[in-house]
Structure 1
Amino acid sequence: MTTVLCMAITGSTPPGRKHVLAMTSIRYDDASVREVPVRDLRLADFTWSMPWRSFRSVQGQTHYSGRYASATTAGPVVYESRLELARLLLADMDPAVRGIYAQPCRLTARVGGRVRQHVPDFLLAMASGTVRVVNVKPADRLADPKIVEALAWPGELIERHGWEYEVWSGVDRTVLENVRFLAAYRRPDVVPAAVIERAWRSVQDGDRLAEAERRLAAGRPDHEARPPVLALLWSGRLTTDLSRPLSGDWVLRRSA
Structure 2
Amino acid sequence: MAVRFRGDDGAFVDTTLRRLPVEEVLAGRPVREFRSWQGRRHYSGWYWSATTGGHVVYESRLELARILLADQDPTVVAIAAQPFLLEGVDGDRKRRHVPDLLLAHKDGTLTVVDVKAAARVADPKVAAQFAWTRAVCERHGFGFEVWTGADAVLVENLRFLAGYRRPATIATELVPAVIDAAVVPVAISALERRLGLSVPQWLVRPVILHLLWRSWLVADLSRVLGGDTLVSAEVVA
Is TM (by shorter chain) over 0.5?
yes
The equivalent residue for 1:39 is: 18
- Residue 106 of structure 1 aligns with an amino acid whose one-letter code is L
The equivalent residue for 2:137 is: 158
Structure 2 CA distance for aligned equivalents of residues 231 and 47 of structure 1: 25
2:3 is paired with a residue whose SS is: strand
Q: Which has the larger radius of gyration?
A: 1
Matched ranges for 1:120-159 at <5 A: 120-159=99-138
The equivalent residue for 2:187 is: 208
1:54 is paired with a residue whose SS is: coil
Contact in 1 for aligned 2:44/2:61 (Cα 8 Å): yes
Where does the alignment leave 5 or more consecutive residues of structure 1 unmatched? 1-21
- Compute the displacement of 1:54 (Å): 0.9
Matched ranges for 1:171-250 at <5 A: 171-218=150-197, 224-250=203-229
Q: Deviations along 1:47-77, whole A, 9 cap, x unmatched?
A: 5411011123222111111000111111111
- Give the 4+ runs in structure 1 shifted more than 6 A: none
Structure 2 CA distance for aligned equivalents of residues 201 and 56 of structure 1: 48
Of 43, 60, 66, which residue of structure 2 is paired with 1:64?
A: 43
- Compute the displacement of 1:197 (Å): 2.9
Structure 2 CA distance for aligned equivalents of residues 220 and 162 of structure 1: 51
Structure 1 CA distance for aligned equivalents of residues 215 and 23 of structure 2: 26
- Residue 29 of structure 1 aligns with an amino acid whose one-letter code is D
1:242 is paired with a residue whose SS is: coil
Of 20, 23, 32, which residue of structure 1 is paired with 2:2?
A: 23
- Compute the displacement of 1:167 (Å): 0.3
Q: Deviations along 1:191-247, whole A, 9 cap, x unmatched?
A: 032122332232223122222122111177755521111111011111111011112
Structure 2 CA distance for aligned equivalents of residues 184 and 99 of structure 1: 20
Contact in 1 for aligned 2:30/2:83 (Cα 8 Å): yes
- Residue 136 of structure 1 aligns with an amino acid whose one-letter code is V
- Compute the displacement of 1:31 (Å): 3.1
Normalising by structure 2, report the TM-score.
Answer: 0.93
Contact in 2 for aligned 1:69/1:75 (Cα 8 Å): yes
The equivalent residue for 2:34 is: 55
Structure 2 CA distance for aligned equivalents of residues 92 and 47 of structure 1: 14
Normalising by structure 1, report the TM-score.
Answer: 0.87
2:169 is paired with a residue whose SS is: coil
Specify whether residues 248 and 85 from structure 1 end up closer, same or farther in structure 2 by C-alpha distance, changes over 3 A only: same
Structure 1 CA distance for aligned equivalents of residues 54 and 181 of structure 2: 31
- Compute the displacement of 1:123 (Å): 0.3
- Of structures 1 and 2, the one scoring higher in RCO (CA 8 A, sep 6+) is 1
Structure 2 CA distance for aligned equivalents of residues 47 and 138 of structure 1: 25
Specify whether residues 69 and 47 from structure 1 end up closer, same or farther in structure 2 by C-alpha distance, changes over 3 A only: closer
Is 1:73 matched up with 2:73? no
Of 80, 88, 97, which residue of structure 2 is paired with 1:101?
A: 80
Contact in 2 for aligned 1:72/1:100 (Cα 8 Å): yes
Q: CA-atom RMSD, angstroms? A: 1.6
Contact in 1 for aligned 2:170/2:203 (Cα 8 Å): no
Structure 2 CA distance for aligned equivalents of residues 210 and 76 of structure 1: 33
Q: Name the stretch that deviates more: 221-230 or 27-36.
A: 221-230
- Compute the displacement of 1:169 (Å): 0.4
Q: Deviations along 1:115-151, whole A, 9 cap, x unmatched?
A: 1100000001111110111000000001211111111
Q: Name the stretch that deviates more: 143-152 or 130-139.
A: 143-152
Where does the alignment leave 5 or more consecutive residues of structure 2 unmatched? none
